[in-house]
Structure 1
């Protein structure tokens, strides 16, 4: 039975809410010495096979990834000692055996796994760090008979278990083989384990989908997203951040904000509080107007409040989100309500998204240029970062013109062939004929007198961003740099300040350790003499050291919003002693303003956040911060943030 949420009915669920989906700490068990020795030997053998395969230029990179994910799984479980149950030892032996079989098949040109049906493990190489990442794909029973058919794709995000690693994922994917009524391809992303589908976990979903599209015929108008618990949290934010990607979105349980979910009473520092609006899905409820959303849950599940709050928030905006509840069910993904929930999603999949140009009417909200697209609209720039930024409207039936109202939008672009003209906040401007009809997108910029349409040459200049405004993938905060291709750069010169240099090394060491464990990849590291023009063109540069030790820092420091001498760092009019203070910041790279430069910082969330709750995985340092450090004898550093801030939309300090 379909039920809509009435807030007073379930207010008790909010009071006393179990705050985290994090499990109790699971203790790993060291495998027997003889088992570890055998596993390491077999891993070396598989890695040797892969190395040989990579020497053959005729072998497709995608097929190499399908083999290397098995070596990756064994390597990571061994390095991090993630044998949470005795069964994991047996599973790892099985992983290595399968990897060796695939390597042998690929060597002779007969990759049999590409002809399998049921649930099959594949891999891809991430653009972020070059790491290999797995995903599971389940095929319909009649897939071979319909191999030329363009298939719907269902994406299902897993929940958090605390014991998930590559071995667990490969041996126990969510897919259970094809069902009788299974007429779609079913994708289970890995998401770089249990990180709430944030940051590189967010990117993993898109990269896995892209890899499936390269291998199989996918109906792009019929991609469905769903998930439960942590997967529900991911479905809420991915579904509403990218509303034009899906034909239907189905979250169950999960969390949709930080303060309510954590029952956190104090207000975070402003540079953290504002960046909650990156991933707090409750702020994006308006976007349910742009994609069908359905949700479900158990009446005895404390996480049902996430669904009820989203339903209520959408209702306040005259948007209906169907909610199915099984009154006696607790926190479980399969319950009677699930069948009604799934029936709605299957109907959305059957209908598919409207053909281009898509929906003629939209209601779109964002708080950052990171998530800036809806149908034929792209929000290029915001007046104020992390404030509600809204575009509403569509094609007027009588005039045929596009009519839009905006809030907090500084610049936007529209697909040219939507309409002949556009009315922006009451100003009628050309669309189809604008910029001599030479660009697929038409750009509009707001001035003190209202909206202006850019001519062809002005449009090209605007795209180059000469005024250094915050734009998509160039908007910060520091953590955003690690959702894009990046490389860490160490120095080969003489440090200005040994204490700061030691602190910088400890920051990089900690980043390498935590990224490897929690985001499942080795951090790419080179030194300053290895940086080429191509690297500068293609990657975000994460620079460690000071202008004396690191030649790249010396090249860019004069163009950063700081002053840096041997003894002091001056920022925002205040100076700090470099013997016990360091700077962490993100900024457009002066050597290539289309990419970031980051100074002395990896991810600003740390192990305690990953171990606690995914809702804690928000930025901790904003765009720029001064860190007071105190070196410990073991080489680590005690750090205290003494000042931090977010740059405004012009990359200026407010």
Structure 2
């Protein structure tokens, strides 16, 4: 009677309608869908404390409860549950849990923490099937595991790893009727304690996913054979038979062997010379390649460095070499001798040495994986990116380029950051580049722990593109963007700002902000959602998991709803329900690459819808805005029907059509209607047609053509110009302002600004750079030189900008306008009317971030209230 009541109670608790012969809640596997069947109805028994120093996974804790791991039955489970339920004195419990589609977090379940003592836990599940069938158990945990199916041991692995997919992909056979699955998971001190299990049908996709899992770890027990000549494969690898081939640095086969699943493989390589090798392992559906080094990789790298440093080479090659040397020394401070990053570094150093010895450029039309350096024109600093050039590359054949948008990498220089250190992800992109025969660029050396609010990353992307084009042949009709999380948002944002530049976009779980950020109007003006309509001619694939624990799936659902409302017919949304790890995006880059490769840029769409927050964004396909309101959103919609062009717009004063790409019958008359008025009828006399709808003379008197916000100056090549003509106090204040700006720049970008005195500015500086002058007309000769042509007046008791007077004796300001000495560049002024109370100001009360500074064309503030604007706005329109 008690047993019957217990069974009824358990069935009611977890809401299970399937009751097998044992009477316990069960998981039905009659028909296994493509997404698999999650093992989510579990009897969890534990925790069993253990001595962290012993291999406690091998301890049979069930013996303390009168049972045995290898002979456990459903009757044992019922008895154990009843015993523990009526024994409140023990810390061990038995509970039935329905985990839904998420992993089990045992620390949360038992109210323990990572720092708590080590131990074991058991999870039992009843699985039913109407017939005998073969399947696969997809299993993952954060520590060691032993697994039995119907009292047969099918897995025994004991090592720590993070939670990921397809750690185990075990072939199983389900009996007709009831099957008992017992899973034992251990925990060591200071570790997570999670588990996930799913039954699946065997599939090539799943095998590929397991290969991806293998890629996150070393296939071998060590990748540097310094202390041993034995190469061995880790025990937990390869649940399938496989074939292994080892090649040397000259791609010559040196060893070939078969690997039997479930058996440990090792080979004596004492007969091989020291050096770099690759091992290709071919499994059922897929293959993987891992490199290793026989000998002392660290010492070998040191010898190559010494040899290279005495050899002549170009400045460009020297910069690339210096980046690798930095990585080498950084690893020696932060790694261990067996770290396989050394193996990758050795291959890169060897590549440089081989080409320099032959008198060739190591980075010109050569395939491979490279950390590349270039000199940024913004601040003259060396910036870096990772470039993958597939082995199929031939300079006669242009290849597409995929850009991986950056994510947060921590507050540290790029060469020290997680992004460069994550060699597994780098190797993943190397494999994707080779598989899809495209170049792949990972950029983001300006990205730290949070995104830039200004446009510096967009500028650097164009700098990187030019740097790659110096050495490689890129198919510019196949430029693609992809990214995950904030990188996914940035990919969509870039595509929206530059319609026509990118052939296709792929994103996974993009972090999109749909709410207007009233506290940050600069960010609000640049939100992806505000400009998404600009992508109407761009194919987009977005993938998101319905169980995403990092970026909620509602974000992509809202994005899809927005795309549908905007009639973005080329926007594709794919929602998946089979991912359970926190960060799963890497698994879907293959899908994104494949999707993008099927598309080329269309330079001649018949319908263009373009909205622009400011003048930096002015081109969409064959249409360029040449004159627009400086502070309001500019919007233009153009439709072409044969040779009739219908254009409607708002806050646009002039635009130009590129007739070479306009989809029309060339050589025949064109009729152009602008906001309902015929503006042109006839045959154009050139390859472009310019329309000016609102002459400059009819504008508001406060308009200054070509003005830009200070933030845009700080995303372009600039020089900070210190005034030297004022009083000693002026000199002290200006030096302090320059030091402050320079320190803020270094805090954000780990480099320094260009800084010169006003007397040092040359004609070439005026031609090349935006200038940020510090001081006023009395303390800075550059400002005085231009003062008659500036809309700025400064007195001891007021500052007036463009006719707007603010009274005060402790005022500070910034202002940007075209440089009177060269209107093609801009003059910014950060100044004051009292040198005793001068500050750079700030846009918000948050800690100062130079990327989030300079929202406006001009701004005035009190010295004692640096983020409260007395006056702020844009020439042509107030805030």
Identify whether the pair has TM-score above 0.5, normalized to the shorter chain.
Answer: yes
Q: Equivalent residue for 1:217? A: 473
Change (3 A) 1:206 1:181: same
1:528-543 mapped onto 2 (5 Å cutoff)? 528-543=758-773
8 Å CA contact retained: 1:390, 1:407: yes
Q: Equivalent residue for 1:374? A: 620
- Look up the SS of the partner of 1:535 in the other structure: helix
Q: Equivalent residue for 2:120? A: none
1:490-505 mapped onto 2 (5 Å cutoff)? 490-495=722-727, 498=729, 502-505=732-735
Change (3 A) 1:62 1:112: closer
**How far did 1:241 drift?**
0.8
1:320-469 mapped onto 2 (5 Å cutoff)? 320=569, 321-327=571-577, 328-329=579-580, 331-334=582-585, 338=588, 342-343=590-591, 345-354=593-602, 357-383=603-629, 385-387=631-633, 389-397=634-642, 400-417=643-660, 418=662, 419=664, 420-421=669-670, 422-430=672-680, 433-434=683-684, 436-437=685-686, 440-447=687-694
8 Å CA contact retained: 1:540, 1:597: yes
- Look up the SS of the partner of 1:181 in the other structure: helix
8 Å CA contact retained: 1:492, 1:550: yes
Q: Equivalent residue for 2:264? A: none
Q: Equivalent residue for 2:400? A: 152
**How far did 1:565 drift?**
3.2
Q: Which whole-Å CA distance do the structure 2 matches of 1:446 and 1:360 have between them?
A: 22
8 Å CA contact retained: 1:95, 1:167: no
Q: 1:440-471, CA deviations, whole angstroms, 9 ceiling, x for partnerless residues?
A: 533211139xxxxxxxxx9xx9xxx9x99667
Q: Which whole-Å CA distance do the structure 2 matches of 1:536 and 1:603 have between them?
A: 26
For the aligned residue pairs, the C-alpha RMSD in angstroms reads 4.3
With the length of structure 2 as denominator, give the TM-score of the two structures.
0.55
8 Å CA contact retained: 2:615, 2:708: no
Q: 1:291-340, CA deviations, whole angstroms, 9 ceiling, x for partnerless residues?
A: 1112122322352444333222221122242222233445424377x26x
Change (3 A) 1:255 1:535: same
Q: Which whole-Å CA distance do the structure 2 matches of 1:546 and 1:309 have between them?
A: 49
Q: Which whole-Å CA distance do the structure 1 matches of 2:336 and 2:681 have between them?
A: 62
Change (3 A) 1:527 1:150: same
8 Å CA contact retained: 1:514, 1:607: no
Structure with a larger share of its residues in helix:
1
Q: Which has the larger radius of gyration?
A: 2
For residue 566 of structure 2, the aligned residue among 299, 317, 333 is: 317
With the length of structure 1 as denominator, give the TM-score of the two structures.
0.72
Q: Equivalent residue for 1:509? A: 739
Change (3 A) 1:153 1:96: closer
Q: Which whole-Å CA distance do the structure 2 matches of 1:603 and 1:596 have between them?
A: 20
**How far did 1:532 drift?**
1.3
Change (3 A) 1:225 1:113: same
Change (3 A) 1:484 1:122: same
Change (3 A) 1:589 1:319: same
Change (3 A) 1:87 1:203: farther
Change (3 A) 1:629 1:330: farther
**Structure 1 unpaired stretches of 5+:** 2-41, 449-457, 631-637
1:295 aligns with 2:542: yes
Q: Which whole-Å CA distance do the structure 2 matches of 1:515 and 1:528 have between them?
A: 20
Q: Equivalent residue for 2:370? A: 120
**How far did 1:520 drift?**
3.8
Q: Which whole-Å CA distance do the structure 2 matches of 1:105 and 1:139 have between them?
A: 16
Greater mean deviation of Cα atoms: 91-100 or 521-530 = 91-100
8 Å CA contact retained: 1:252, 1:307: no
Q: Which whole-Å CA distance do the structure 2 matches of 1:589 and 1:396 have between them?
A: 43
More contact order relative to length (CA 8 Å, sep ≥ 6):
1
Q: Equivalent residue for 2:713? A: 481
1:627 aligns with 2:861: yes
**How far did 1:543 drift?**
0.7
1:229 aligns with 2:482: no
Q: 1:248-285, CA deviations, whole angstroms, 9 ceiling, x for partnerless residues?
A: 0123334333846xxx6xx33xxx42x33442111001
1:135 aligns with 2:385: yes
- Total equivalences in the alignment: 547
Change (3 A) 1:72 1:526: farther
